[in-house]
């Protein structure tokens, strides 16, 4: 492991950026390669400010560009693959999501074999495990339960198939005669400073007199703070390079969570934003079964109109199920094999995120003041 180097795909994303910041603290790391499709000047500025002994190389490239991937992989010892298309509502064409999440992952695996990269960590999702029905209750689930999503929606399907490809690639022969070692980390809802999920929920609430959306109030999930999620990826990278730990990790997947209380996404957003006056919606909402069948009706209308008109429903059955299920997981296996312990407590994570939400509230007030002037 001394003198190792790491390529991070999706390096400009929420999780990718945090992984790079944590890699920068690794003393033995010689080079960090940051691959992203569309780095902004702000991304580049943040990367240039990294205080690290490692060389930082910024690579602009597409996950579907095989030549770009081969160049990016040359000479690195670890690939952490976080690049993905996260689409729940069908805003992105199905084939695009499948190409990025599945084909892109396969191309990256092929590039690792060609460039003889021995370690590959895949940032997967709990959505590959379900939930398949809002009536299904999974509490503190574990890897041995073998939960698997049956949804054909492009996001859970493509993440599931990509994870299978990554784990199946474990043990593949590399061009230099070495062996590829892989594992996958199943990540739930990630929150923290810069989270698009949190930002979306907060901004919608600010436009609605400070009332948070109620969609998801029946769910119970096990969210994870972004720093803790990133830390799990660093530990997996170290573990797969460690001759003693590696045999137990190779070809395995792990659920990653932390000490954040298991709660609904709405309650999580409330806990993070209540210091700034945001509040829960106390109004009446449709019963779950009715909401589910309404989603089915909207999907049917969308399907029937497809030949003549592109109609995207405001919600679908997958979204209704995901946001209204009891679906939590334990990180005990990651604790055992990776030595994973959350670095940031729930209270510290809440405070950090709440301070950032405060800046969103101030921005909103600033815009309102500008309009009234």
pLDDT of residue 370 exceeding 80: no
- Number of neighbours of residue 106 by Cβ within 10 angstroms: 14
Q: Checking phi first, is residue 130 left (phi over 0); if not, alpha (psi -120 to 50) or beta?
A: left
Q: What proportion of the chain, given as a percentage, has pLDDT over 90?
A: 80
Q: Chain-wide mean pLDDT for the chain?
A: 93
Per-residue model confidence (pLDDT) at position 217: 81
pLDDT digit string, tens, across residues 275-326: 999 999 888 788 889 999 999 999 999 989 989 988 889 889 999 999 899 9
Work out the average pLDDT over 246-255: 97
Looking at beta carbons, which pairs linking 131-137 to residues 24 or more positions away fall under 8 Å? 131/321, 131/322, 131/325, 131/327, 132/321, 133/321, 133/325, 134/218, 134/288, 134/292, 134/320, 134/321, 134/324, 134/325, 136/325, 136/326, 136/327, 137/325, 137/326
Q: Which is more confident, 209 or 47?
A: 209
Per-residue model confidence (pLDDT) at position 89: 79
Per-residue model confidence (pLDDT) at position 340: 98
Per-residue model confidence (pLDDT) at position 294: 94
Per-residue model confidence (pLDDT) at position 49: 78
- State the catalytic residue, choosing from 49, 53, 159, 333: 159
Per-residue model confidence (pLDDT) at position 41: 78
Residue 2's pLDDT band, with cuts at 50, 70 and 90, is: low
Residue 215's pLDDT band, with cuts at 50, 70 and 90, is: confident
Per-residue model confidence (pLDDT) at position 210: 92
Which CATH superfamily is 4-133+141-191+224-259+329-343 part of? NAD(P)-binding Rossmann-like Domain (3.40.50.720)
Interacting residues of 373 by C-beta distance below 8 A, sequence separation 6+: none
Q: Which residues of 255-282 are buried (b: 16+ CB within 10 A; e: fewer)?
A: bbbbebebbbbbbbbbbbbeebebebbe
Active site residue 49: no
Q: Taking a C-beta distance cutoff of 8 angstroms, is the pair 173, 153 a contact?
A: no
Q: Taking a C-beta distance cutoff of 8 angstroms, is the pair 276, 354 a contact?
A: yes
Work out the average pLDDT over 190-205: 94
- Cα 75 to chain centroid distance, Å, stands at 27
- Supply φ then ψ for residue 255, to 5 degrees: -85, 135
pLDDT of residue 1 exceeding 70: no
CA distance 170 to 137: 32
pLDDT of residue 372 exceeding 70: no
66: tokens are 């095989």
């Amino acid at each position: 492991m001394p003198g190792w180097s790491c390529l991070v795909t999706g390096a400009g994303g929420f999780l990718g950026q945090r992984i790079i910041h944590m890699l920068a603290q690794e003393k033995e790391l010689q080079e960090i390669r940051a691959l992203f499709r569309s780095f902004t000047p702000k991304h580049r500025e943040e990367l240039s400010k990294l205080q690290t002994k490692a060389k930082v190389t910024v690579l602009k490239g597409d996950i579907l560009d095989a030549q770009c991937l081969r160049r990016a992989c040359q000479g690195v010892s670890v690939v952490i693959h976080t690049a993905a298309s996260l689409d729940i509502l069908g805003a992105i064409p199905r084939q695009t999501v499948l190409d990025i999440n599945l084909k892109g992952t396969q191309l990256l695996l092929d590039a690792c074999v060609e460039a003889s990269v021995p370690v590959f960590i895949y940032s997967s999702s709990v959505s590959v495990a379900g939930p398949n029905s809002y009536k299904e209750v999974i509490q503190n689930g574990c890897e041995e339960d073998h939960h698997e999503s049956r949804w054909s929606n492009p996001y859970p399907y493509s993440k599931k198939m990509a994870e299978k490809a990554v784990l199946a690639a474990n043990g593949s022969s590399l061009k230099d005669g070495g062996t590829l070692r892989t594992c996958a980390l199943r990540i739930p809802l990630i929150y923290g400073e810069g989270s698009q999920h949190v930002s979306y929920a907060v901004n919608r609430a600010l436009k609605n007199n400070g009332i948070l959306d109620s969609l998801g109030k029946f769910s119970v999930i096990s969210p994870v703070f972004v720093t803790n999620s990133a830390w799990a990826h660093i530990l997996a990278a170290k573990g797969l390079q460690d001759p003693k730990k590696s045999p137990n990790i190779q070809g395995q997947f792990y659920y990653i969570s932390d000490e954040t209380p298991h709660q609904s996404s709405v309650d999580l957003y409330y806990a993070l934003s209540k210091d700034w006056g945001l509040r829960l919606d106390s109004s009446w909402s449709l019963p779950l079964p009715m909401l589910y069948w309404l989603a089915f009706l909207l999907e049917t209308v969308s399907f029937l109109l497809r030949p003549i008109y592109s109609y995207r429903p405001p919600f679908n059955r997958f979204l209704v199920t995901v946001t209204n299920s009891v679906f939590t997981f334990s990180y005990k296996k990651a604790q055992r094999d990776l030595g994973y312990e959350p670095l940031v407590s729930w209270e510290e994570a809440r405070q950090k995120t709440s301070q950032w939400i405060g800046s969103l509230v101030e921005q909103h007030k600033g815009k309102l003041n500008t309009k009234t002037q």
